[in-house]
Each structure stands twice: as structure tokens, then as C-alpha cells.
């Protein structure tokens, strides 16, 4: 065999290209670049902060001896639409990991989560996580209660999925325009929070008014006299 330095450099590597290496049992094997990349993706071996990965195991009803590094939903089907998922049981260890993620899971509460197929991220669901609790049947798992917001496709048995905080949605804002003068501006912002409100009147002046939050998605602004302009919610 010639010296390695005598071989040319391939500047366009493909997933089908191979590397020679030693398997864990000591046998010499060829490893494709695609398989190596897949391993990194499925196990987060590179260590991308905030990214966790799991294998979806369809066990029908919940069983107490589920595998580490897996996530489960209550279904007897091999697939389930992301739009119909309301609860996920998730291992405290991600695929190939040995560190508990219990503290990290506590950060999911009242945040938006993305669950996506690692190999085809066009299959995904975005949810608001309304509760996080240790599973009563298996303390190595946690139950996430979810409210579906948007997504596409189905979750599928034995496929690999990432579960991450949906960074694009954690700090949302909303701008409301009141075109006609009114003493009451009624705003349905659907931000799922009690936002701060900055009022800019049509004159360009900052507005001073009474802001009343009906709930996390609706508020009213009351003026002494009829005003028009914009309200910036953040």
C-alpha cells in the first residue's frame, strides 16, 4: 500500500464515499461518510447545545421498561400525525447519552418546543409545553403535556427525532394599528403572555392610556379622548 500522502485530495466528498477504520469489536470495516454523519446527528456526538435526540418507539400502551434514549406517545399505530400529539413520554437520557437531562427539561415549561425528524425536518410539530412531570411508571422518563400550534407530517416508529426549544418563538411581539380614532382599542394579539405595551399616536407622540389584560391573548387600551395610531406589544 502506498503512503497515504501520495493519494489525491477529494474536494467534493459524497455520503457514499468510504473511510477505512476499526469496529468496536476489533474488525476492520469500511465506514461511509453518510453513516458517520448520521451517527453524529442521531447521538448529537458533536455536542450542539440545546439539541437532544431520541428514537421514537411505538409501544402501544406505555410500558415501564422502555429503552433509554427513546420517546413515546400513546398510540398503537406505526405513525401518528404531529397535529394529534398531546403528551410525550421522553427518556431523561438522549440517544447514546449518559448524562441526565432532568434539569434541562424543566426549562420546557410554558415554552414552545420543536419535535422534528432528524433526517427530514419537513416532518415536524411545534407545541407549547404546558406541563413537565416525572413519569409515575418509570422514573427515568418525563411526561411533557403539549398543545399543538403548527407542523406537518407524522411521527414514525423507529425514526430519530430531535426535541428542542423553538428559539424563533420564545420572544414574540405584535404591532396593532388603530386607523380610526377611538377611546377603546381592542387587541387580540395571541402572544400567550402579558406583553408590555408601547403606544405611538398618529401624531407621532407617545400615548398614555390604561391597558387592561383580559388574558394572555387579549387586551384593551382605554383613552380619555378618541385616538388613532399603533400599539407595539413585546
Q: Report the CATH number at residue 92.
A: 2.40.30
90, 163 contact by CB (below 8 A): yes
Q: Tell me, yes or no, whether 182 and 124 share the same domain.
A: no
Helix (H) or strand (E) holding 198: strand 197-201
Domain count, the chain: 2
Evaluate whether 189 touches 217 at the Cβ level (below 8 Å).
Answer: yes
Beta strands at 52-56 and 18-22: parallel, antiparallel or unpaired: unpaired
Residues 134 and 72 in one domain: yes
What are the beta bridge partners of residue 128? 112, 147
Predicted local distance difference test score (pLDDT) of residue 215 = 92
Domain that holds residue 219: 174-233
Alpha carbon 100 to chain centroid, angstroms: 19
Residue 135, domain member (yes or no): yes
Does a structural domain hold residue 31? no
Distance CA 109, CA 213 (A): 22
> Alpha-carbon dihedral of residues 88, 92, 94, 97, nearest 10 degrees?
-170
Based on the fold, state whether residues 102 and 156 are members of the same structural domain.
Answer: yes
What does the longest C-alpha to C-alpha distance in the chain come to?
89
Q: Which residues contact 69 (CB under 8 A, 6 or more apart)?
A: 53, 54, 55, 91, 93, 94, 95, 96, 97
Residue 47: per-residue pLDDT: 47
User: Bridge-partner residues for 53, per DSSP?
Assistant: 162
Looking at 169, 203, 223, which one is the last position of a domain? 169
Nearby residues of 95 by Cβ (< 8 Å), 6 or more positions away = 42, 43, 44, 53, 54, 55, 69, 70, 160
Has residue 199 been placed in a domain?
Answer: yes
Same domain, 51 and 96: yes
In a domain, 18, yes or no: no
Domain final position from 169, 191, 215: 169
Assess whether 116 and 206 both reside in one domain: no
Q: What is the pLDDT, as a whole number, of residue 41?
A: 56
Low-confidence ranges of the chain (pLDDT < 50): 46-47, 49
Q: Judge whether 225 lies within some domain.
A: yes
Q: Is residue 27 part of a domain?
A: no
Same domain, 70 and 123: yes
SS3 85: coil
Alpha-carbon 50 to chain mean position = 10
Strand partners for 231: 176, 199
Amino acid at each position: 500500500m502506498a503512503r497515504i500522502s501520495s493519494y489525491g485530495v477529494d474536494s467534493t466528498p459524497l455520503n457514499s464515499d468510504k473511510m477505512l477504520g476499526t469496529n468496536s469489536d476489533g474488525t476492520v470495516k469500511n465506514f461511509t461518510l453518510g453513516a458517520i454523519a448520521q451517527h453524529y446527528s442521531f447521538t448529537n456526538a458533536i455536542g450542539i447545545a440545546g439539541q437532544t435526540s431520541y428514537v421514537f418507539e411505538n409501544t402501544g400502551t406505555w410500558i415501564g421498561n422502555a429503552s433509554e434514549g427513546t420517546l413515546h406517545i400513546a398510540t398503537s399505530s406505526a405513525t401518528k400525525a404531529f397535529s394529534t400529539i398531546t403528551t410525550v413520554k421522553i427518556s431523561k437520557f438522549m440517544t447514546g447519552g449518559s448524562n441526565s437531562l432532568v434539569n434541562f427539561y424543566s426549562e420546557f415549561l410554558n415554552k414552545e418546543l420543536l419535535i422534528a425528524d432528524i433526517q427530514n425536518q419537513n416532518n415536524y410539530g411545534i407545541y407549547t409545553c404546558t406541563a413537565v412531570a416525572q413519569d409515575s411508571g418509570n422514573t427515568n422518563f418525563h411526561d411533557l403535556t403539549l398543545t399543538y400550534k403548527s407542523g406537518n407530517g407524522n411521527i414514525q416508529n423507529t425514526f430519530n427525532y430531535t426535541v428542542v426549544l423553538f428559539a424563533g418563538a420564545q420572544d414574540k411581539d405584535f404591532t396593532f394599528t388603530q386607523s380610526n380614532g377611538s377611546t377603546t382599542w381592542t387587541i387580540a394579539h395571541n402572544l400567550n403572555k402579558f406583553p408590555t405595551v408601547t403606544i405611538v399616536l398618529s401624531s407621532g407622540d407617545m400615548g398614555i392610556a390604561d391597558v387592561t389584560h383580559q388574558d394572555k391573548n387579549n387586551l384593551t387600551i382605554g383613552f380619555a379622548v378618541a385616538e388613532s395610531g399603533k400599539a407595539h406589544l413585546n
